[in-house]
């Protein structure tokens, strides 16, 4: 840009006395120089891959529904989520990025479905709080795996991976919220004075 300014300055000094256009020629030259400099400086927008469908497969849903005990259901969901993450890593290593994206979408569906069910079942009993703690503890290493996948994946998959990492981090927080709600520790209101 600085070079362009020097060239424009020299051109103006030389062209001004010799051109019949005078000021209009200078304005035209500066406008053309500005247009070309801004288009050269502009960057193309990054094409991003479309986000995958966030859904649980029928087999996984049947397997979760067949498990009646909440603790066993949570263990099954965590195992299925781990499998989806390892499948995504395998597909990434094989450079099969669309399949990796599909595996991450299935992981996202399992994550949301498991969290929703755990929060719905959190009724203040110790066992439901323990399940929420287990879920939170299982998500922690999965966030690290997602970060490793994000670093290795092509740049067009990064926006969705960043979003998925944020969703997993938020899921950890949401899993702990019921343990600190008003049901567990009531808010003490200060006594009112007349």
Q: What is the tens place of the pLDDT at every residue in 158-191? A: 999 999 999 999 999 888 887 776 554 455 555 6
Average pLDDT (17-43) is 62
36: tokens are 């070309």
DSSP state at residue 152: H
Q: What is the tens place of the pLDDT at every residue in 36-85? A: 665 555 455 567 778 888 888 899 999 989 988 888 999 999 999 999 99
Q: What is the rounded distance in angstroms from the CA atom of residue 72 to the CA atom of residue 68?
A: 8
């Amino acid at each position: 840009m600085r070079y362009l300014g020097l060239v424009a300055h020299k051109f103006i000094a030389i062209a001004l006395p010799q051109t019949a256009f005078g000021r209009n020629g200078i304005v035209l030259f500066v406008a053309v120089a500005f247009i070309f400099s801004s288009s050269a400086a502009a960057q193309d927008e990054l094409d991003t891959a479309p986000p995958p469908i966030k859904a649980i497969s029928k087999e996984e849903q049947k397997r979760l529904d067949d498990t009646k005990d909440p603790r066993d259901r949570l263990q099954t969901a965590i195992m299925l989520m781990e499998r989806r993450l390892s499948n995504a890593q395998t597909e990434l290593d094989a450079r099969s990025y669309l399949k990796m994206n599909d595996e991450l979408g299935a992981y996202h569906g399992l994550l949301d479905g498991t969290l929703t069910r755990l929060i719905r079942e959190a009724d203040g009993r110790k066992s439901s709080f323990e399940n929420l703690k287990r879920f939170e503890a299982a998500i922690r290493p999965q966030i690290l795996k997602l970060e490793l996948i994000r670093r290795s994946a092509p740049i067009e998959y990064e926006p969705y991976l960043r979003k998925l990492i944020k969703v997993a981090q938020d899921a950890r927080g949401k899993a702990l919220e019921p343990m600190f709600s008003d049901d567990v520790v009531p808010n003490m209101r200060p006594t009112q004075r007349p």
